[in-house]
Amino acid sequence: MASTTQVDQIKEKHRAIWDAGDYGDVARRLVAEVGEVAVQRAGIGPGMEVLDVACGTGNATIPAAEAGAARVVGLDLAPTLVEEARERAAAAGVDVELIVGDCEALPFENASFDRVVSAIGVQFAPRHEASAAELLRVSRPGGIIVLANWTPEGFIGRFFKVLSGYMPPLPDFASPPPLWGSEDHVRELLGDGAEIRTERREVVFEHASPAEFIDYFAEVYGPLLAARGATEAEGRWDDLRAELISLCEESNRDPAGFAAPSEYLVVTARRAA
């Protein structure tokens, strides 16, 4: 069993990773539609109380408020992302609550929300069982949880597999993020607490070329920014970059540029009454 210190250390590392770079730019350019899909699948409407877990810069938080929910709360571990979400919400003219917090220990009472969503977020918390238990705990009986997460087989799932070959292994108590994109894993996590439906969708990553995409990602995407720093210190960045470019080339559907579909799993879970 992991000690509190070990868990705190990995969360501090995660916070630093997501505070680095410019995830807001990644979200706007590449994954905005994922948040919109999550909100649509949740059926959010007037009078509802909604929680966006690991909200990032508000990709689902803001559409949830625009859908007319009575109360929308967004929570994320990274203060930089929460602050950007505040700025985006203000620019959009929506009223939301945005707080820094941990999805493995949500600061809410039991059965607080009609809808709980997470768009490319909760999968990055280290202890999947703890996060799943919290999602269920804060959902009202009969409420709906919608999760959208990268699959292991998709482009980003394979991207993380490449990264894992260059980075220290996860501690024993942590699980790989792409497992949240596996139907079997999600059913095990949510257990008998919810009736589950799943669907697989794709979002297309576009850029000028495979190499330029990786160079862009290495500047703005926290996990790759961290991997670049570590591998440059070891003299292995060129090898990692080349392997990632090769993955992009294998996934590319645009011979004149770069267009790679990345698969994600949408889970719609109705909380047991």
Cβ atoms 260, 155 nearer than 8 A: yes
Cβ atoms 39, 60 nearer than 8 A: yes
**What's the whole-number mean pLDDT along residues 34-52?**
97
Q: What CA–CA distance (Å, rounded) separates 40 from 113?
A: 17
Q: How many residues does the chain have?
A: 273
CA dihedral 233, 5, 222, 102 (to 10 degrees): 180
Burial call 124-143: b when 16+ CB within 10 Å, e when fewer:
bbbbbebbbbbbbbbbbeeb
Work out the percent of the chain whose per-residue pLDDT is above 70.
Answer: 99
Task: State yes or no: pLDDT of 191 exceeds 90.
Answer: no
Q: What CA–CA distance (Å, rounded) separates 231 from 248?
A: 19
**Strands (E) located in the chain:** 49-53, 71-76, 97-100, 113-119, 139-150, 194-207, 258-271
Q: Binning pLDDT at 50, 70 and 90, where does residue 112 land?
A: very high
- The architecture CATH gives domain 4-271: 3-Layer(aba) Sandwich (3.40)
Q: Binning pLDDT at 50, 70 and 90, where does residue 42 land?
A: very high
Helix or strand or coil: residue 69?
Answer: coil
Q: Whose structure tokens read 């949500």?
A: 106
Which tens digit of pLDDT belongs to each residue from 124-155?
Answer: 999 999 999 999 999 999 999 999 999 999 99
Beta bridge partners of 118: 147
Helix or strand or coil: residue 268?
Answer: strand
| Helices assigned H by DSSP within 43-110 | 61-66, 79-92
Task: State yes or no: pLDDT of 1 exceeds 70.
Answer: no
